[in-house]
Amino acid sequence: MSESPVLKRSLAARLSDGRAWPWLLLVPALLLVAAVVLYPTLTGMDISFRQMRLNRPALGTGYIGFTHYLAMLNDTVFWVALQNTAVWVVVTVVLELLLGLMVALALDVELPGFRTIAVIVLLPWFLPVVVAGNIWALMLDARLGVINAALVNLGILSDFKAWFADPAWALPAAILVEAWHGFPFFALLLLAGLKGVPTELYEAAAVDGASLWHRIRHIQIPALRMIIVASVVLRAISLMNSPELLLILTGGGPGYSTQVLSLYAFQKAYREFNFGYAGALSVVMFLLLMVGSWVYVRTSNALKD
Amino acid sequence: MSKITRRAALTGAAGLASLPLATLKFARAADPTKVVYWHHFTSQEEFAGLKAVMEQFAKKFPNIALTQENIPNPEYMTKFTAAVMAKSRPEVSMVAPERLPDMLAMDGLIDLTARVNAWKLKPYFPADRWVGATQKGKIYGVPAFTFVDWVYYRKDWFQAAGIEGPPKTLDEFVTAAKKLTDPSKNRYGFGLRGGPGGYAYIVDLMEAFGTQFVVDGKNAMDKPKALAAVKWYSDLATVHKVVPPSAANDGFRQIMEGFKTGQTAMTWHHTGSLVELVRAMKPSEFGTAAKPAGPAKRVARLSYQYNGLMKHDNEQAAWDWIAFWGETDPAIAFLEATGYFPASTEVAKDARITGNPLYAAAAETTTFGTLPPAFVGYAGWSQNVVLPEFQKILVGQQNAEKAVDNMMKGLDAALN
């Protein structure tokens, strides 16, 4: 009876001496990742190959191959949504990055009141999307909106404009709202990056007589390159997958002029209960993000650093 | 003195340790039965009405702990679907008739037929009250209240323009809307709801022009009739220009603000917005009227809103809650807070309803009003196809014929 602990200890000792030991230690974490990440992802992909219409149980839930993917080729709304998604993600990220960079550079100077200003600048990011969306819907309202009133008073508009009812303006207006809401994300990360730039570099630049522009161009932006690449990828993923703001402001309309893939997938799933088609749309979004991120990271040369 | 053995001490300790558990068991026996109620009430008035009904319920059923959970209407089916899929259903859910087929298709509601047939208040709910909650002879919901579609119109503007009363036909409607439109004053004849929720009026008009939608599970749309309806409706914006320029994006809030702030002369909604308008406007400024008749039919919806049970747990307590809405006191309390009509004929005889002239139009509508269409796939088709295709006409992206073609194709896809 007294041999058993010894045996156990020797087993553990033998295992810890072996080459498999590091892998055994990873097992709990791998199981967790499989349960939380892998299983839902694979289930989502599996659904995209099935007939999953919750309100049509007679159709069953069997495999139907690439039917949903082939249907997409002839789905005009899908192509419009794909195009809108590209504009929505690219233009919004560029706007947010530029705004965020300007704000980060300004805040890095640490003028008096810097902390208060930093908190005010970051406020939009703290607002839930639903709140931000409704605030802007009211501010841009064609009857009572303060922005319309200001533009009319300044003589820029002759009359109040229904921004979200005009297909030429609905998407740009929504992009501006999203940029306002999202730029503090970039400002925060870039400011953190700027704080890590060694002061010796600035001192050397000053000795060399570098102008403000040269300092930004040759010291600050290169120092931020990794952060810019990572934050752009993160933000693009977030924008691609989040239909909330467009759902509040336009619902994808008028017509399909602000329809994007995430919103379309949501509507297919929860209005038509066609989870199979919605799953296929999600897989397409997943692939687009994977490929887009890979190309962007490769072309940015960020990994060479 | 007896010696306390180790065994006795352990037994005593175990007994002491089990005391709290025993107390807990007694406490549980006296705990009220929990009922969770999902609804999609939105306005302050609706919440006040719900609170009044819940307070009366708590007095009558002190042993039932009722919890209400508000789900925004546009997300209601999302949450409902997730609850069914994840097996985390509440006891009670609000059931809109147009959602019933989808809810039943995913096996989200339980059969109440036996309970309803044994209910003492059933005689006050005529057969038409149950249609929206019945499928294949089984009843899945109890009527709680009614939305009656009607027209709000600016009584003072009509008088000033010399128009005799609200329009009774669609032709009269266009004539009045044109007379009352003056873009230079930012005044328009009609607040058209072309944004969220606007699909219902397009569907209603198609029916008013004579088309059906689904017969024996097949697409039964009559293209010329549907086209005439869609053209009539979109012409208000594109030809007659009697609606605000924001119409393609206007939802409930926008059409109500447009009417209240003096931008529009008429708008279509249901009795549910009456309390809000009574508070915001003078009695001399606005009136209510039954919806105008179309060439084939006069269509106004009577949307009985139901409460149904989603699971068998705490079934008696959950039934007590949904049956309570049929009683006179809670129905009148809810009416006073919201303006929503009771579904019971007994409650409808109350002097507080029959004595109010604003309700006359609703009483008239109950004589010809019908339930909204209800077929599997209606929600997806009407919101994902009908509304955006109609919006495209409003903003000049396509003509009415192309829109109707796409609506018919969309209906085929929804049914196949």
The token pair at B174 is: 């266009």
Rounded to an integer, what distance in angstroms lies between the CA atom of residue A140 and that of residue A148?
6
Place of tokens 């209510």: B288
Q: Tell me, yes or no, if A170 comes closer than 8 A to chain B by beta carbon.
A: yes
Question: Would A64 be classed as within a structural domain?
Answer: no
Same domain flag for A33 and A88: no
Kindly tell me if the per-residue pLDDT of A11 is higher than 90: no
Domain contains B21? no
Q: Is B66 left (phi over 0), alpha (psi -120 to 50) or beta?
A: beta
Measured at the CA of B14, the angle between CA B13 and CA B17, to 5 degrees, comes to 85
CB B121 within 8 A of CB B327: yes
* The pLDDT value given to residue B53: 96
Residue B293 lies in a domain: yes
In a domain, A70, yes or no: no
Q: First-to-last CA distance in chain A? A: 59
- Has residue A254 got a pLDDT over 90? yes
A chain contacts of residue B105, beta-carbon cutoff 8 Å: 54-57, 273
Q: Is residue A67 part of a domain?
A: no
Judge if B258 and B290 occupy the same domain.
yes
Cβ within 8 Å, pair A56-B105: yes
d(CA A25, CA B370): 67
Among A273, A275, A277, the strongest candidate for a mutation testing the B interface, having the largest count of B CBs within 10 A, is: A273
Residue B294 belongs to a domain: yes
Q: Would you mind telling me the total number of residues written for chain B in this entry?
A: 416
Distance CA B319, CA B308 (A): 8
**Same-domain pairing of B211 and B292:** yes
Q: Do residues B113 and B209 both lie within one domain? A: no
Same domain for A124 and A237, yes or no, is yes
Which residues fall within 8 angstroms of residue B268, CB to CB, at 6 or more apart?
A: B149, B150, B151, B152, B193, B201, B291
Inside any domain, residue A55: no
- For residue A250, pLDDT over 60 is answered with yes
In the chain, the amino acid numbered B402 is K
Q: d(Cα B393, Cα B397) in Å, to the nearest integer?
A: 6
Pair of tokens at residue B189: 């004849």
Residue A248: which of B384, B196, B81, B395 has the closest Cα?
B196
Task: Tell me which residue in A57, A142, A268 faces B246 most closely, judged by beta carbons.
Answer: A142
Q: Are residues B313 and B234 in the same domain?
A: no
Q: Are residues A283 and A228 in the same domain?
A: yes
Residue B166's Cβ-side half-sphere holds a number of Cα atoms within 13 Å equal to: 20
Among B75, B247, B388, the residue with its CB nearest the CB of A165 is B247
Longest dimension (CA), chain A: 95
Contact A255, B392 (CB under 8 A): yes
Contact A143 B384 (CB under 8 A): no
From the CB of residue B189, how many other CB atoms can be counted at a distance below 10 Å?
A: 27
Query: Both A159 and A270 in a single domain?
Result: yes
| Residues B243 and B392 occupy one common structural domain | yes
Tell which wins on pLDDT, A22 or A87.
A87
Asked if the structure places residue A52 within a domain, the reply is no
- Would you call B392 and A144 a contact, using CB atoms and an 8 Å cutoff? no
Name the residue among B75, B196, B245 with its Cβ closest to that of A142. Answer: B245
For the stretch A174-213, pLDDT in tens is 999 999 999 999 999 999 999 999 989 989 998 988 888 9
**Structural domain total, chain B:** 2
The boundaries of the domain holding residue A240 are 76-304
Q: What does the alpha-carbon distance between residue A137 and residue A284 come to, in Å, rounded to a whole number? A: 30
Mutate to test the interface with A, among B77, B104, B136, B395 (most CBs of A within 10 A): B395
Residues of chain B with Cβ-Cβ distance to A271 below 8 Å are 77, 379-380, 383-384
Is A290 within the bounds of a domain?
Answer: yes
What would the two tokens of residue B321 be? 């809650």
Shared domain check, A135 and A33: no
pLDDT for A140 beyond 50: yes
Which of A75, A136, A143, A249 has the most B C-beta neighbours within 10 Å, making it the best mutation to test the interface with B? A143
- For the stretch A299-303, contacts whose Cβ atoms lie closer than 8 Å and that sit 24 or more positions apart, written own/partner, are A300/A225, A300/A229, A302/A225, A302/A226, A302/A229, A302/A230
Percent of chain A at pLDDT > 90 equals 67
Measure CB to CB from residue A256 to each of B106, B388, B414 and give the nearest one.
Answer: B388
Quick check: is B249 in a domain?
yes
Residues B168 and B276 in one domain: yes
Q: List own/partner pairs for B50-58 with CB under 8 A and 24 or more apart.
A: B50/B334, B52/B330, B52/B333, B52/B334, B52/B336, B52/B337, B53/B324, B53/B325, B53/B330, B53/B333, B53/B334, B56/B324, B56/B329, B56/B330, B56/B333, B57/B321, B57/B324, B57/B330
Are A143 and B258 an interchain contact pair (Cβ–Cβ within 8 Å)? yes
CB contact under 8 A, A254 and B394: yes
- At how many degrees (to 10) do helices B44-60 and B328-338 cross? 160
| CATH (domain of B135) | 3.40.190.10
Classify residue B396: in a domain, yes or no.
Answer: yes
Q: Residue A185's domain is classified under what CATH number?
A: 1.10.3720.10
CA-to-CA distance for B414 and B183, rounded, in angstroms? 40
Q: Are residues B180 and B279 in the same domain?
A: yes
HEC string of chain A equals CCHHHHHHHHHHHHHHHCCCHHHHHHHHHHHHHHHHHHHHHHHHHHHCCECCECCCHHHCCCECCCHHHHHHHCCHHHHHHHHHHHHHHHHHHHHHHHHHHHHHHHHHCCCCCHHHHHHHHHHHHHCCHHHHHHHHHHHCCCCCCHHHHHHHHCCCCCCCCCHHHCCCCHHHHHHHHHHHHHHHHHHHHHHHHHHCCCHHHHHHHHHCCCCHHHHHHHHHHHHHHHHHHHHHHHHHHHHHHCCHHHHHHCCCCCCCCCCCHHHHHHHHHHCCCEHHHHHHHHHHHHHHHHHHHHHHHHHHCHHHC
Nearest-CA distance from B398 to chain A in Å? 10
Tens place of pLDDT per residue across chain B (416 aa) = 444 555 555 455 555 445 444 444 444 556 789 999 999 987 788 899 999 999 999 999 999 999 999 998 878 888 998 899 888 999 999 999 888 988 998 899 999 999 999 999 999 998 889 999 999 999 999 999 988 999 999 999 999 999 999 999 999 999 999 999 999 999 999 999 999 999 999 999 999 999 999 999 999 999 999 999 999 999 999 999 999 999 999 999 999 999 999 999 999 999 888 888 998 999 999 999 999 999 999 999 988 999 999 999 999 999 999 999 999 999 989 988 888 888 888 888 888 788 888 888 987 888 888 888 888 899 899 999 999 999 999 999 999 999 999 999 999 999 98
| Integer angstrom CA distances of residue A293 from A83, A287, A290, A296 | 18, 10, 5, 5
Residues in chain A, overall count = 305
A143-156: pLDDT as tens digits: 889 999 999 999 99
Give the pLDDT confidence score for residue B2 in this predicted structure.
45
Asked if the structure places residue A49 within a domain, the reply is no
B208 and B254 together in one domain = yes
Is the same domain home to A24 and A120? no
Q: Which residue of A has its CA nearest to B85?
A: A54
- Say whether A165 and B245 touch across the interface (CB within 8 A): yes
Domain end marker among B359, B387, B407: B359
Indicate whether A9 and A152 sit together in one domain. no
Do B239 and B382 have their domain in common?
yes
Identify which of A231, A285, A219 has the alpha carbon closest to the alpha carbon of residue A82: A285
Residue A57 inside a domain? The answer is no
**Residues A85, A32 within the same domain:** no
Residue B71 lies inside a defined structural domain of this protein: yes
Q: What is the pLDDT of residues A51-70, one digit of tens each?
A: 988 888 888 889 999 999 99
Q: Which residue has the higher pLDDT, A282 or A121?
A: A282
- Pick B196's closest partner by Cβ from A165, A251, A270: A251
Q: Does A304 touch chain B (CB under 8 A)?
A: no
Q: Which pLDDT value is given to residue A103?
A: 93
The domain tally of chain A equals 2
Contact B249 A253 (CB under 8 A): yes
Instruction: Please judge whether B384 and A268 are an interchain contact, meaning their C-beta atoms are less than 8 angstroms apart.
Output: yes
Q: Which domain holds residue B293?
A: 148-301+373-415
How many whole angstroms separate alpha carbon A129 and alpha carbon A150? 24
Both B324 and B260 in one domain: the answer is no
Phi and psi at residue B139, to the nearest 5°? -100, 135
The minimum CA-CA distance between B374 and chain A, rounded to whole Å, is 13
Measure CB to CB from residue B395 to each of A247, A251, A255 and give the nearest one.
A255
Q: Are residues B309 and B194 in the same domain?
A: no
Q: Are residues B223 and B248 in the same domain?
A: yes
